[in-house]
Amino acid sequence: MRSTLADEVLQSRNAQGNVYRLVEAYRKHGHKLATVNPISLKDQQSLTIDELNPQYYGLTPDQTVQPQGLISAPLLPVGGPATVTELASLLQEIYCGSAVSAEFDYIENLEEREWLAHHFEQLAVGKQRQQSDFTVSNDARRQIAELLIKSQTWDNFMAIRFASVKRYGGEGAESLLPFYWQLLRSAAQAGIEDIVVAMPHRGRMPLQTTMLNMRPAKIFHKLSGESEFPDDAPAMSDTLSHFHTSEDLEVDGKKLHISLIRNPSHLEAANPVSMGKTRSKQQTVGDGAFSDDPEKPFATTVLNVIVHGDAAFAGQGVNQECLNMAYVPHFEVGGSLHLIVNNQIGFTTPGERGRSTDYTSDLAKTIQAPVFHVNGDNPEMVVLITQLAMQYQRAFRKDIFIDMNCFRRWGHNEMDDPTFTNPSVYQIIHNRKSVPDLYTEKLVRGSVLTTAQAEAMRTDYWNYLDAELKLSESYKPEANYFKKQWTGLTSATDQLTVWDTGLDYQLLNYIGHQSVQLPEDFNVHPHLLKTHIEGRRKKLDSGEKIDWSTAEALAIGSLMYQGHHVRISGEDVGRGTFSHRHVMLVDQKTNEMYIPLNSLKGGHGGKLEVAHSILSEEAVLGYEYGMAIDDPQKLIIWEAQFGDFANGAQIMIDNYIITGETKWMDSNGLVLLLPHGYDGAASEHSSCRIERFLQLCDSKETAPDGDNVNVNIVNPTTSAQYYHVLRRQLLRNFRKPLVVVAPKIMLRHPAATSTHVDFQPGTHFHNLLGDPTINADQVRKVIICSGKHFFVLDEARKTKGINDIALIRLESLCPFPAYELQQELAKYKQAKSFVWSQEEHRNMGAWSFVRPRFECLIGKELNYVGRAEAATTATGIGKVHKREVEEIIARSLN
C-alpha cells in the first residue's frame, strides 16, 4: 500500500498535467461507456462523453506522452513514449470494457483512490492481468464451471421434479456461486475464521446445496409437507427460501465458519441483523477494539458480507441506515463486503422505474464506498473482482460493493410470465444462452474442459440430487438449536417459574458505588456530582429510596460482575432521554467519555458497551437483535427515545424478535425499553402502544400462560422490579425477548423506589403486586391496573381517605399471571365490583387484552375505566388532558 506518491510519479503528473486530466477523466467517467450489462437495451458505446475527448484537454491524437506515473498499467512500452491515441485506447480498455467497470473517484482519501486505480488497472485488461496477482488457473476455471453447472442442474432438477414450486432459482445469476467461491478463498487466505452473511431469496438454495453443505434431502423433505425441525420441536417453521446455514467449512486447508443468517420475506431486513451478529462474534473472539491490541482492526477474524437485490437495495431505507452505521463507534464491523445481484428488475419493475439514481448501487457513494460493476456473463471476472474487493476490504477495513449485472431468466418466480410487463428485455433473455452454457463452451473452445467432462459434471450432480430425493423420505431433521454457545439453554415450558435474582446487599452497595466512581482527575459536571453521584451514594448507603437508574446500574453491574457482557444501545442512551441514566459521564474539560462500570474491580470481567446509536430505529434494533441471537450470555438492551418510535422498527419486531423462536427455534433475550406514560405530552411521546405488543404475543385467552409465551411484556412499578426483570433475562435457562413498558416520571417518583431488602437473596420479579395497605375484609371493589397509573390512583385513594377499594398491579402482562391473580382476588371475599383502570384510550392500552383473560380465567365480569376510544394516543390540549385524568380517577374510585 502506498501512502505517499513517489517523486517520479509527481513529476510525471506535474509535467503532463493535461494528459493526467485525461487519465483522471477516464477514472471518473469511463464507467459510463462500459458495456457490463449483458441484457442492455441501450447502446452504451454510442454515448458521447465530452470529458473523455482528448481535445477537451488540448491534447492532439499524435502527441507523444510518457504514461509512466500517470497510470498503473504497464502495457505501454516501459519507460517509452506513447501517443495520446494509444493511451486513450488503453484507458478505454481498462475503464470502458465489457467485463468490469469501476467507480471510486468520489473517495476523498488520496491513498484509497491511488490504491484502487492501481489495482483496478492491473486487473481490468487481460494481457496485463497475466503480469499481476489477478490470474485464474485452468484448475480454477474447471471448478468455476462445475459450480455453474451445479447451479443450473439444481434449477433444471427442481423445474422437472417440483414443477409448481416457486424456487427463486439462480438462473441468470449463476455467477453468484463463483462470487462465493472466491470470497471463501480470499477469506481463508486472509486468516478470517468466520463469515456472517445476509442474503435474500434469489439463488439461496443453489448456493446452500452446492457450496454450503445443505443436504438437498432437507429441502425435498420440506417440500413433501414436513417440517425442517424434529417432530418434538415447538416450532411453526418457515418457508424454504428462509432456511439458514451455520456450517464449518474447510477451504484451502483452513477452517472457515459461515453463517448465512435467516431472512424474513422483508427484503434487506436481514442486513443489520447480520451486522449485529458479526459484531457479537467479534466481541466473543476479541476482534478489533475487543482485543487487547490497539492496532488490531475490526474484521481481522470475523467478516460481514451482505448480498442485495437491485430493486431492494435502492428501495429499502434500511440500507441507508445500515451504511450510516458502518463506521460509527460501537456499530462498526470492519467494513462489509456487499454484492448486488443486479438482475435489473424487481418483481415486474425495471430499474428506471424502481429508483431515481443511475445505478442501483449509488447509495454506496454516501459513505464513499467503491463500486465495481461486473458483467455476470463473465464468471472469471466476477471471481477476480471479488478478489480485488476483498483486498480493498482487508487493506482499509471499509465497505465495498460489487454490482453484478445479470438477468432473471423467468418471472419473479418460475410460475410467473415476465413478458406481460417487460417484453423487450425478455426477448433478449429468451434468445440468449445461459451463463453456465456460455462459460462451458468457452472452456471447451480453449481446451480447458471437454464436453464429456462438462456432461459428467451435470449427470453426476443430477444423480446426486435424485439420490437425495429418494433419501428425503427417510430424512430426519436435525435438532441444530441450543448448540455451541447456546448449550445448556432450552425451550421454556408451560409452567411459570420463579428465579431468585436477588443478591447480597453488600455486594450491590459496592457495585452501586463503583457505578459512580470516577478517576481522580476527572472533571465531572458539578450538577451531576451533586445529584447523580453523591445522591446515589447516599441512597445506597442508607439502603432506602433506591431509584430506577440506580436499580438499573445494580442489575447491569451485577450481571457484569457475574461475567456477562452488557450492551445498551439506542439514541443518547449514555445520558438517557430523561437525563436519568448517566451510565457514561463526560469530562467537562477534555470531552472524554468515561463509563465507571467498566472499571468495576473484582468479579468476572463482564464489560458494558454503551452504544450511542445513529438516529435510526429499524437498523439499530435489527443490529441489537443480531447481537442477541448470537450470544445468550450477553444482555442486549435497546432503548427507544420514546416508546412510540419503536414502530419505525416494526419489521424487526414482527419478523424477528416476536416470531424468530416460533419460526426458526432461534431464541433471543433482547430487552426493549419503551418509555410510556400519559403526562400531557400530546399525541406522540405518550404511548409505546402496549396494545400492539399484546396483540403480538401468544398469551392464551382461555388457559393459564407458562414461560413458553413468545415474549415477556412487563410494566414494572418499582425500581426493584426493574432490577429483577433485567437480571432474570440472563439467569433463566431459556431466553425470551422482554418488552419493558418503561417509565418517564416514575424514574424520579419517590413511590417507585425500593429499599435494600427488595434486592436481597431470595427476592425475585413479581408478576403481580397486591395491596398490602388495605384490610381485605372491607374491600367492596377491586381495581386492577398496570404501570404508573397505579400511583395516580393510589394517591387519590389516600387523599380521599378511601379504605374499601383495593388496587392490584399487573406487573407482567404477558405471561398473564392468571393463577396469581386468582389467589390475590380470593382475599377480597366481599368485593362485588372489578374494574380495569387505565390511562390509555379504550381502543389502546391493555384493556382488550386483560378483559377476555380476566373473564375466562377468573370467571368474573370486568368493567372499564379509562379514556374513550380515540384515533390518536393522547390529546394535545392541556385542559382536556387534566379533565380526562380527573374523570378517570373519579370513575375509578367511585
Ligand X SMILES: Cc1ncc(C[n+]2csc(CCOP(=O)(O)OP(=O)(O)O)c2C)c(N)n1
Q: Using the 8-state DSSP alphabet, how is residue 726 labeled?
A: H
Q: 681 is written with which cell numbers?
A: 405530552
Cβ 260 to ligand X shortest distance, Å = 16
Parallel, antiparallel, or unpaired for β 566-570 and 608-612?
Answer: parallel
In degrees, to the nearest 5, what angle opens at C-alpha 288 toward C-alphas 286 and 289? Answer: 90
Draw the binding track, 344-383, toward Mg ion (x: CB under 5 A; -: no contact): -xx-------------------------------------
Options 86, 103, 310, 705; binder of ligand X; rule CB under 6 A: 310
Candidate residues 27, 202, 365, 797; the one interacting with ligand X per rule CB under 6 A: 202
Beta bridge partners of 784: 808, 836
- What number of other Cβ atoms are within 10 A of residue 815's Cβ? 24
What SS3 string covers 216-248? HHHHHHHHCCCCCCCCCCCCCCCCHHHCCEEEE
Which residue number places its CB atom closest to ligand X? 309
Decide: is 421 part of the binding site for ligand X (CB under 6 A): no
**Which amino acid, one-letter code, is at 160?**
I
Q: Which of 200, 203, 276, 309 binds Mg ion (CB under 5 A)?
A: 309
Which of 155, 268, 310, 758 forms a contact with Mg ion (CB under 5 A)?
A: 310
Closest CA to 406 of 439, 429, 383, 430: 429
CB 155, min distance to ligand X, A:
14
Stretch that binds Mg ion, among 85-93, 339-347, 381-389, 476-484 (CB under 5 A): 339-347
418 contacts 349 by C-beta, under 8 angstroms: no
Of the candidates 133, 347, 495, 860, which one interacts with ligand X according to CB under 6 A? 347
| Residue 266 binding result from ligand X, Mg ion, none, given CB thresholds of 5 to 8 Å by partner type | ligand X
Does position 321 interact with Mg ion (CB under 5 A)? The reply is no
Could you give the CA distance from residue 826 to residue 488 in angstroms, rounded to a whole number?
39
CB nearer to ligand X: give 264 or 643.
Answer: 264
The C-alpha cell at 547 is: 431509584
Beta bridge partners of 770: none
Could you tell me the three cell numbers for 194? 468466520
167 touching ligand X, by CB under 6 A = no
**Considering CB distances under 5 to 8 angstroms, the limit depending on partner class, which of Mg ion, ligand X, none binds residue 781?**
none
Nearest Cα neighbor of 835 from 774, 771, 891, 768 is 891
User: Nearest distance from residue 640's CB to ligand X, in Å?
Assistant: 22
Looking at beta carbons only, is 403 or 705 nearer to ligand X?
403
Sketch the per residue contact string, 656 through 695, with ligand X: x for CB under 6 A, - otherwise: ----------------------------------------
Quick one: what does residue 398 bind among ligand X, Mg ion, none, with the CB cut-off 5 to 8 Å set by partner type?
A: none
- Among ligand X, Mg ion, none, the one that 312 touches (CB under a kind-dependent 5 to 8 A) is ligand X
Dist CA 271 CA 623 (whole Å): 8
Number of residues that bind Mg ion (CB under 5 A): 6
The partner in contact with residue 820, picked from Mg ion, ligand X, none with C-beta cut-offs of 5 to 8 angstroms by kind, is none
Nearest C-alpha neighbor of 435 from the set 155, 771, 772: 155
Give the whole-angstrom CA distance, residue 654 versus residue 689.
Answer: 14
Give the span between the Cα atoms of 203 and 185, in whole angstroms: 20
Q: Which residues contact 319 (CB under 8 A, 6 or more apart)?
A: 268, 271, 308, 313, 363
Q: Does 335 bind Mg ion (CB under 5 A)?
A: no
Binding residues for ligand X, rule CB under 6 A, total 15
Residues 255-294 touching ligand X, rule: CB under 6 A, are 265-267
Q: Which does 422 bind (CB under 5 to 8 A by kind): Mg ion, ligand X, none?
A: none
**Residue from the set 216, 346, 570, 787 that interacts with ligand X by CB under 6 A:** 346
Is residue 112 within the footprint of ligand X (CB under 6 A)?
A: no
Q: Report angle CA 101, 103, 104 to the nearest 5 degrees.
A: 135
Task: Provide, rounded to whole angstroms, the least separation between the CB of residue 354 and ligand X.
Answer: 8
**Inter-residue long-range contacts of 876-881, CB under 8 Å, 24+ positions, other chains counted:** 876/682, 876/683, 878/680, 881/678, 881/680
Q: What span, in angstroms and rounded, lies between the C-alpha atoms of 253 and 249?
A: 9
Site for ligand X (CB under 6 A): which residue of 52, 214, 305, 312? 312
Q: Which residues bind ligand X (CB under 6 A)?
A: 202, 265-267, 309-312, 316, 341, 343, 345-347, 408
Residues near Mg ion (CB under 5 A): 309-311, 343, 345-346
